[in-house]
Amino acid sequence: MKKLSIAALALSSAFLSGQALATDYSITKEKQPSRMLVLSSAGGLQSEYFSILNMDLRDIPYGDKTGTITGVSYVSAGFAQSSAETSEICFFRAYSNNPLMCEPIEPNSTGTVTAFNGQWFQAGVQVSIVHRVEATGSFHYLEPNREESVTFHYTSD
């Protein structure tokens, strides 16, 4: 009986030590959007990119620097003088110049996007918040009303 207990203890210890516990992390990036140039016949476009750099991961244990995205929270600015503004948030895989997917969001809002859930998280991934304004017939600049931020939520594997 004693040999069976020791064997069971050794087996359960080996099983538990082989399983890593997943840990949840959040990394927030903030930027002040630049003003938007609105052309009289083409409208305006303004984008801010929020990239995860290696230095953003410096306080995270080595084995937890990669994982799976569980949500992306955002605070978007608005361009107050615009009447026909649209916005979207886009996800880019690590070191890619092309967005993998985009989701429409309301200008000057806060929220969480779950469409990016399940995507791989690592240094180099990025999210952009894009604002578009239709042509107004006059050339002018629009000022953002606040700072924008993005929080990456992920679980280490």
pLDDT digits (tens, 9 = 90+) for 24-46: 999 999 999 999 999 988 889 99
Identify residue 152 by its one-letter amino acid code: F
Percentages helix, strand, coil for the chain (3-state, rounded to 5) are: 15, 45, 40
Q: What is the mean pLDDT of residues 110-121?
A: 98
Write the CB contacts of 139 (distance below 8 Å, at least 6 apart in sequence): 38, 39, 40
pLDDT reported for residue 7: 38
Three-state SS at 107: coil
Q: What was the pLDDT predicted at 50? A: 98
Q: How far apart are CA 107 and CA 37, in angstroms?
A: 17
Mean pLDDT of all residues in 4-19:
41
- pLDDT recorded at residue 47: 96
Enter the pTM of the model: 0.84
pLDDT of residue 82: 61
Give 60's DSSP letter. Answer: S
H or E stretch at 8: helix 2-18
102: which 2 tokens?
């985009």
Residue 153, SS3?
strand
Domain residue ranges in the chain: 20-156
- Determine whether 54 is exposed, middle or buried from the number of CB atoms within 10 Å of its CB (0-12, 13-18, 19+): exposed
Q: What is the pLDDT of residue 40?
A: 87
Give the CATH fold of the 20-156 domain.
Jelly Rolls (2.60.120)
